[in-house]
């Protein structure tokens, strides 16, 4: 209520990217004030419950609703985000070298569609800067995933070098890693989802993860691949087969879409990736297809268009084990996390499930 009545009207009168930076900087500043993260957790935190706790990838998630990549691109506000009720979060996308991204303006709101369009272009400060920030974390309530990508100037036939460089620099910084090959805003990046290039890239990523783990005498950390929603059925099947056979830990479905179906706001003409409510059904379809193809053996994180507990629950029943939000947080504020988790518990009780893991893939039974 506080967000929608006071903060949102102010933020939505600002340029979207300036509002974005204001939120990140505010959470960063709050995280540095003694006692503030505890106060934030008391106000917005989600009380742990056995129905929603998830054990996956060798990690414990206090509940299954996380923050998608793209909001905290530089790992600057992790302590703040870790204190407002998320069950996990992604930082990034980060590239080996810092880069400015695409020209502004590059972020657009579509309020009647409850959507965003962005063409940010992996703007970030680089892997070294992120590693330094994550090393200063004080709040460690939730798992943190590091989302990695390639620099714009790196050709696809050398993309594996960038992903390996990110892993070398950030291996100790994250609990798990996400290979982003699906942003529509880096030229030719989505081509890495198809053909032999994907297999070679994942082999390189797995090799680097294994090498870094061996240096530390540890088991390799989990790695997931984030895929696009815009593939044909044939392309999706081939991509999933390649990912499943590579030994990768799981898939995030999905990134933003290039589709503009059903949009009403004038900003629908802007180029870039669309996120928010219009992506809900397609991302759930992709989750369902992945689960069906893999027999439920490859963990899926569902992302795209989650605004209500029912939206999230549809993704669990389609096959997701965890879900992520981004655009709905912008439109609804941090109070949404309690709405989602309380709603999920009610839906589990309605359907007679003891925990969220029992609901994962229920539509396929």
HSE of 90 in the Cβ direction (CA atoms, 13 Å)? 28
**What does the buried/exposed string (b/e) look like for 326-335 if buried means 16 or more CB atoms within 10 Å of the residue's CB?**
bbbbbbbbbb
Q: Supply the angle between the helices 233-246 and 195-216 in degrees, to the nearest 10.
A: 30
Q: Are 290 and 319 in contact (CB under 8 A)?
A: yes
Task: Identify the active-site residue in 82, 83, 182, 183.
Answer: 183
Count other C-beta atoms under 10 Å from residue 129's C-beta: 16
Q: What is the DSSP string of 43-70?
A: HHPPPP-TTT-EEETTEEESSSEEEPTT
Going by C-alpha positions, the residue among 94, 234, 230, 100 that lies closest to residue 168 is 94
Residue 183: active-site member: yes
Regarding beta strands 176-180 and 144-148, do their DSSP bridges make them parallel or antiparallel, or are they unpaired? parallel
208: which 2 tokens?
């680097």
Q: Where are the alpha helices (DSSP H) in 126-228?
A: 127-135, 159-170, 195-216
Residues annotated catalytic, as ranges: 183
């Amino acid at each position: 209520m506080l967000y929608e009545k006071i903060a949102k009207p102010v933020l939505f009168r600002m340029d979207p990217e300036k509002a974005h930076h204001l939120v990140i900087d505010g959470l960063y500043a709050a995280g540095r004030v003694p006692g503030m993260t505890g106060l934030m957790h008391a106000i917005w935190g989600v009380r742990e419950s056995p129905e929603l706790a998830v054990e996956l990838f060798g990690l414990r998630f206090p509940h299954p609703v996380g923050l998608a990549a793209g909001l905290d691109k530089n790992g600057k506000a992790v302590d703040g985000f870790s204190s407002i009720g998320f069950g996990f979060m992604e930082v990034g996308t980060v590239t080996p070298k810092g880069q400015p991204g695409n020209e502004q303006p590059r972020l657009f709101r579509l309020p009647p569609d409850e959507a965003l369009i962005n063409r940010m272009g992996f703007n970030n400060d680089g892997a070294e800067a992120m590693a330094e920030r994550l090393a200063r974390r004080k709040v460690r309530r939730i798992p943190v995933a590091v989302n990695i990508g390639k620099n714009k100037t790196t050709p696809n036939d050398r993309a594996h070098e960038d992903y390996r460089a990110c892993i070398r620099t950030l291996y100790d910084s994250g609990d798990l890693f996400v290979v982003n090959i699906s942003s529509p805003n880096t030229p030719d990046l989505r081509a890495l989802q198809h053909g032999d290039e994907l297999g070679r890239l994942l082999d390189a990523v797995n090799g680097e993860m294994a090498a870094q783990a061996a240096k530390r005498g540890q088991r390799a950390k989990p790695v997931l691949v984030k895929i696009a929603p815009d593939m044909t059925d044939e392309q999706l099947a081939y991509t999933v087969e390649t990912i499943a056979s590579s030994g990768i830990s799981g898939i995030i479905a999905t990134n933003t879409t290039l589709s503009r179906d059903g949009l009403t706001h004038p900003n629908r003409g802007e180029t870039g990736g669309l996120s928010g409510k219009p992506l809900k059904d397609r991302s759930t379809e992709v989750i369902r297809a992945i689960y069906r193809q893999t027999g439920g053996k490859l963990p899926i994180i569902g992302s795209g268009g989650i605004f209500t507990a029912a939206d999230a629950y549809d993704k669990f029943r389609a096959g997701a084990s965890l879900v992520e939000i981004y655009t709905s947080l912008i439109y609804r504020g941090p109070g949404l996390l309690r709405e989602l988790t309380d709603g999920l518990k009610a839906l589990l009780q309605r359907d007679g499930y003891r925990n969220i893991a029992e609901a994962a893939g229920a539509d396929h039974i």
